[in-house]
Chain A
């Protein structure tokens, strides 16, 4: 059924594409403006990563979810599929821009920069999706718009913490900073996994408990 949703274009039609507009414009502008390389690889890729993450925050806004609640294809699976489709937009764009901009960095730093910036993007994506899933679970029908101030607030926090810097340039602090980004990624992924569970689906314990209650009654 997942393949049918993708193949027939139902899923792509229900996705919000406008939020990806700024990222698409940034890709075009960077491709044109940085034809001969870039003096600031980290800055350019971070800006693009931020726009991609902000645009991806809207993928869980699913207007059809209420109508499709009764369908056999569960809500959680539908939401994971939407995230998968967003990832299918983000990953090629990110890979293309890495391939285009990373050659401007010193050869010895390319792997570290590429890996570190990809971890940053993955953490930012996990945070926006976790916020969206958590808000959705708590009754917000269109949580996308809330993800933007949440991510900006998190970035403000990470930029302000001088004892544990996270937004650093290439240098000795790069590895430790990206260790912290990896922790953010893991925590946000756990919150996302918890938030994506179908709120209607009961846990086995609750089922047993309610059956016992019914028997008593």
Chain B
């Protein structure tokens, strides 16, 4: 035990070490080249877009929404997967296993380091949309999102990142990220597209018009809670991936999954 630990106690030292790891993972994600695809693509798309009605407030409102709720999550999933699998791909796991931090704690730090900045980015996007809404009067009523729908954006982005981590932990082979992506998007679209309230069970925002099907009524704030539950499920499943931790996975993950499904059920009218 170091001098600092003897004064502040081991728990404080552990949380400080965790905070350091979280910061490191957040930096790792922020500097990842795959994430750099997002700004140029959004800039090129908006600059080459015809924008038949002109680049007014309504256009920018929709652009921020599409970038934050649709395009960014697709790219974030792969960036997070690459960050989470970097130790395995660079064959550094053996070296990491002898460090004083456990695999469980490292994965928790990775989940938080990936989810928190992404949730912050989603909150900034939601704030930008709220700002455009407050300043402009020409946005059509059917395009406007409620506060509950805007609050889903941070969890959509954080959820995409956590899904990437989950894929890296449970499918640690080449193509694992692709299978996670296809299962989460196309699989979800096929399965949940078969019934009217399917959009409420996906990890997407409920304000998205899904294959031309008009959105069915539901409680957006409970969908926020449902998305938060999915994020918690992904974190628990990633953290307790190791075979020796499967009892904890069942004990901790079971109640969280049950609560998430209950909230998912309650969000429907």
Contacts and interface: CB of A to CB of B under 8 A. Distances in A.
Contacts of B34: 146, 149
Interface of B: 34, 37, 41, 44-45, 48-52, 71, 74-75, 78-79, 81-82, 89, 173-179, 181-183, 186, 190
Nearest to A156: B71
Contacts of A161: 45, 48-49
A120 interface: no
Contact of A153 (B41, B50, B181): B41
Contacts of B37: 149-150, 153
Contacts of B50: 162-163
Contacts of A149: 34, 37, 74-75, 78-79
Contacts of B71: 153, 156
| Closest 3 pairs between A and B when the two form their complex, measured CB to CB | A19-B175, A18-B175, A162-B50
A20 B174 CA distance: 11
A58 B174 contact: yes
Nearest to B44: A157
Contacts of B81: 145
A61 B37 CA distance: 21
B175 A144 contact: yes
Interface centre among B71, B79, B182 (most CB of A within 10 A): B182
18 contacts: A21-B179, A22-B182, A22-B183, A29-B190, A55-B175, A58-B174, A142-B89, A144-B174, A145-B177, A146-B82, A148-B181, A150-B37, A152-B75, A153-B71, A160-B45, A162-B51, A162-B52, A163-B48
A45 interface: no
A124 interface: no
A89 interface: no
A58 B75 CA distance: 17
A51 B182 contact: yes
A30 B37 CA distance: 32
Contact of B174 (A51, A54, A61): A61
